[in-house]
Amino acid sequence: MEAGENVLRLFPEQLRFRWRQVAREEARLQEIRLRAQRPVLIYAGNSEWYLEETGALTKDAARAYVLEKEELGQIVRHICRYSLYAYEEELRKGYVSADGGFRVGVAGEVILHPDQTVKNIRCISSINIRIAHERKGAAQKLIPFLYEKERLQSCLIISPPGCGKTTLLRDIVRQVSDGNACAPGKTVGLVDERCEIAGCFQGIPGKDVGMRTDVLDGCPKAEGMMMLVRSMSPALVAADELGSAADVEALLQAVKCGCSVAATVHGTSLEEVGGKPLFAPLFQNRIFGRFFVLGKRGREFMVEAVQDGDGRVLREAFLC
């Protein structure tokens, strides 16, 4: 596959001429932000760029290409494969999982249920295409910390948005599944609720998540973790972005069943996450043996700290 092909596939054929150059930047591309009647913004290499009408990237706002509403509609329909109904549940949560493992955040006019809960989003006016990066070896330096006398430790990746927690989790899953210098391969159960980690297409992972990994694609985390524990006997259960009491409860159940867990959560430090009431049961039960705290210094993404289950720092600030 040609470089950038995955990104180009996000756009309908008739608009691709404008996106070829952007797609070629896939390796350093982070986000593509499209808003109706507003300039197209591209985030690449930790910088913000405007898209010109010709498809070139510029820093000059005057030359920025302003996206028409109809064009945004075409892109949304294409990403949803002309089947908005199939994405009803995801749209309700504010995103769409696109082919290639990209997550597309959406905003627009919200339709509410009588009880004021969100029913759907119509008249989509902004989308944020987050470019998923597969970086094999991203977790290489963390793998030795994952094991204690060959025993796999449960781990929690703590990171602000956009610092690579999903990339890191994917590589941890791959290395545990395939085996690594510290231990032989183990069965991994991956709950990929937002289809970002494995990038499945019709159930087949598009990204390398290891040969012993079973993926539940598009499944709610809490339900998925229990399904995997009951039926697939995983040594490690992995899930991205814990965010509800049900997720926490399912994680506790998985550990009670003898599985190790690997999960990610939004945050900037162990203290901050540990202080949230939602996650209190995880800390009270000492579920995690390792915490990987990610961050950003200048333009570099770093592992700020590796901490053990008691919060002791095992290693500080290093590049992955």
Partner 1 sequence: MLKLIGGCIVMAGALGTGVCICVDRKRRIEMLSILQRAFFWMAGEIAYSRISLPEVFTETGRRLQGGFGTGERKTLWAEECRKDFGLGEILLRTGQRLQDGSGQDMQRVWQEEMSRFLPHTGLLEQEKAFVLSFAEAVGFQDGARQQEAVAEFSYRMQERALAAQKQRKEADKITMTFCMACGLMAVILLL
Query: Is 122 an interacting residue with respect to partner 1 (CB under 8 A)?
Result: yes
Q: Among 57, 84, 232, 246, indicate the residue that binds partner 1 (CB under 8 A).
A: 84
- Of 42 and 91, nearer to partner 1 (C-beta) is 91
Q: Alpha-carbon distance 80 to 104, whole Å?
A: 10
Contact status: 14 vs partner 1 (CB under 8 A): yes
What gap in Å lies between CA 5 and CA 196, rounded to an integer?
A: 17
78 lies in the site for partner 1, by CB under 8 A:
yes
Tell me how far, at minimum, the Cβ of 120 lies from partner 1, in Å: 6
Are the C-beta atoms of residues 264 and 169 closer than 8 Å to each other?
A: yes
H-only helix segments in the chain: 5-8, 20-24, 69-79, 88-93, 143-146, 165-178, 221-232, 245-256, 270-274, 280-284
- The distance of closest approach from Cβ of residue 201 to partner 1 in the complex, given in angstroms and rounded to an integer, is 9
What is the smallest separation between the CB atom of 206 and partner 1, expressed in angstroms?
Answer: 12
Of residues 13 and 115, the one with the C-beta less far from partner 1? 13
Q: What angle do CA 155, 318, 274 make, to 5 degrees?
A: 40
Residue window 48-77: x/- pattern of binding to partner 1, with contact defined by CB under 8 A: -----------------------------x
Please choose, from the candidates 263, 124, 78, the residue with its C-alpha nearest in 3D space to the C-alpha of residue 189: 263
Report helix, strand or coil for 307: strand
* Residue 86 binds partner 1, judged by CB under 8 A: yes
* Closer by beta carbon to partner 1, 77 or else 186: 77
Instruction: Please list, in sequence order, all residues whose beta carbon lies within 8 angstroms of the beta carbon of residue 269, skipping any fewer than 6 positions away.
Output: 158, 293, 304
CA dist., res. 225 & res. 237, Å (int):
7
96 binds partner 1 (CB under 8 A): no
Of 10 and 142, which CB lies nearer to partner 1 in the complex structure? 10
Site size with partner 1, rule: CB under 8 A: 23
In the list 16, 93, 266, 296, the residue contacting partner 1 (rule: CB under 8 A) is: 16
Contact 35, 67 (CB under 8 A): yes
- Cβ neighbors of 81 (< 8 A, separation 6 or more) are none
Span near partner 1 by CB under 8 A; candidates 28-36, 81-89, 136-144, 150-158:
81-89
Q: Which residue number, 99 or 214, has a Cβ lying nearer to partner 1?
A: 99
Longest dimension (CA), the chain: 60
Q: Is residue 82 part of the contact set for partner 1 (CB under 8 A)? A: yes
Say whether residue 13 binds partner 1 (CB under 8 A).
yes
Smallest distance from partner 1 to CB 83, Å: 4
Handedness of CA 1, 17, 128, 49 (dihedral sign): positive
Phi, psi of 98 (to 5 degrees): -100, 160
Mask of contacts with partner 1, 172-211, x by CB under 8 A? Answer: ------------------------------x---------
Interacting residue ranges for partner 1, rule: CB under 8 A: 5, 8-9, 11-14, 16, 77-78, 80-86, 88, 91, 99, 120, 122, 202
